[in-house]
Amino acid sequence: MTNPVRQAANRLNIGVERYMPHSFIFVVVLTVIAYITALAVTPTGPIEIVNEWYGQFWGFLEFGMQMTLIIVAGYGIATAPIMRKFIEKLATLPNSSTQAYLSVVAVGTGLAYFNWGLGMVAATFYAITLGAIRDDVDFGYLIATAYIGLWPGVLGSLSITAPLLVNTPGHFLEEQIGIISLAETIFSPLHLTVVICTFLASLLLIYLMRPPEDEVEPLQTDRLESLIPKYGETTADGGKPTLAERLNQNPLFSAIMVILGLVFITYLSVYEGLIATLGLNSMNFILLMTGLALHGSPISYVNAITDGVEKAAQVILQFPFYGGIQGILIGTGLATIIMDSVIAVATATTYPALIFIGTGILNIFVPSAGGQYIVTGEILHGAGESIGTPHSVVVSAYTFGDGWTNMLQPFWALPVIGMAGLQIRNIWGYVMMGVIMWGLVAGTILLVFPAAGLI
């Protein structure tokens, strides 16, 4: 007999498959909603709203490039020959379909904890590899599991935006809140508790939603070659390589750049402290150098990065449109109205949970941790200071809310489904169950900790 969780997931899947459009249609709908809402509740005129929309349309260029690089550089690492062999070996360890599903969660969370882009790509390739060697697993569910399992690690990731931002000297709120170390945010008891509990809850959810044997739809073998790329190959015809090909494949050129990178990383670690200075640019630098080192051959890495950009194409396309939505929210004051409405009913006990909810709502419209925090950070920290909530808790609660509806936002699933050759509707019913679970677990912890005097 199918359990209630599986039944609910099935109902959501049926609804999503019928009514879920392409993710680009989603951003258009969100733009219309933001426009109409701003027109209704703010004094801004219709043409002014359009001007605000265009005014921020290109506002995400730097941040969008940083996010794209995290995905693409993660793809470069995950597809390196040595990583491919490791993933293939790892995929032979599960002894049952249930173990296979749960192992995808563990891989996604574990790798995303170090870097969310690497976790996203590696967990997806791991799921694809499992689908390639097993006929007792449902491929669509494997990919949904890879996406759901990613987010507990993202919450505490060393590459998560807001904690890195406030850990960076000269950040835009330094005069108000100072420098907040990673020890106070992602390594704090509150933060670690949410990460651990959402991970355990994800394992339970994946176990309960797993398809029964008679409903399993395995990966079709004729799709394997396109889904699992091979890099590091020699000449296509097997003949003697030309001088140009030998230069392209010569690891010396990779070694030169990797050595330069190691020198800088060593300097950063010894003289400034790597963790203390870790930011989006330094994280991407480490990822790029690591991928280049793992591939060895320059052309192998170039080919991997080229394919990685293809997987991130929809992210590149849609970032400007989300920038436009942010322009509407900021320029019209709509974002401030939303956050003020949430904050107005806050107490010292409920404030972290309300930040979580308010951030989650805004994040549906602007799936950009850095961009949204720049808009709401001053408001959130100002209210927190008056209530008595530590600035570090505000950052953590914000991060949880951002991660919560990032899971719901189709935008961030685009690289995953692109690598798997699926559509959003193939996984979204399961993902929505994950969103519900996350909201309950993280929201409860954010209420319990202040009520118990643990922050």
pLDDT score, position 366: 81
pLDDT score, position 140: 93
Query: In the structure encoding, which two tokens stand for residue 36, read together?
Result: 């109409």
Q: How far is CA 161 from CA 9, 154, 165, 223, 313, in A?
A: 31, 10, 6, 35, 21
Q: Is 142 exposed, middle or buried (0-12, 13-18, 19+ CB in 10 A)?
A: buried
CA-CA distance, 224 to 103, in Å (whole number)?
21
Query: In the structure encoding, which two tokens stand for residue 148, read together?
Result: 């759901």
Burial string for 374-408 (b: 16+ CB within 10 Å, else e) reads bbbbebbbebbeebebbbbbbbbbbbbbbbbbbbb
pLDDT score, position 233: 60
Give every CB contact of residue 452 below 8 A, 6+ residues apart in sequence. none
Contact 81, 232 (CB under 8 A): yes
| 306 C-beta neighbours (distance < 10 Å), count | 12
- Measured in whole angstroms, the distance separating CA 407 from the mean position of its chain's CA atoms is 8
Contact 213, 152 (CB under 8 A): no
End-to-end CA distance of the chain: 44
How is the chain split into domains, by residue range?
4-231+246-451
pLDDT tens digit at each of 455 positions of the chain: 568 888 888 888 777 777 778 889 989 999 999 999 999 999 999 999 999 999 999 988 888 888 899 889 989 998 899 998 999 899 999 999 999 999 999 999 999 998 888 888 889 999 999 999 999 999 999 999 999 999 999 988 887 889 988 988 888 899 999 999 999 999 999 999 999 999 999 999 999 999 998 889 998 776 766 777 788 765 555 678 889 989 999 999 999 999 999 999 888 888 777 666 667 788 889 999 999 999 999 999 999 999 999 888 888 999 899 889 989 998 999 988 988 887 888 999 999 999 999 999 888 888 765 667 877 888 899 999 999 999 999 999 999 999 999 898 888 888 898 889 888 888 988 999 999 999 999 999 999 999 999 98
Is the pTM value of this prediction over 0.85? yes
Amino acid, single-letter form, for residue 219: L
pLDDT score, position 60: 81
pLDDT score, position 180: 95
pLDDT score, position 274: 66
Using alpha carbons, select from 156, 162, 164 the residue that is nearest to residue 109: 156
Length of the chain: 455
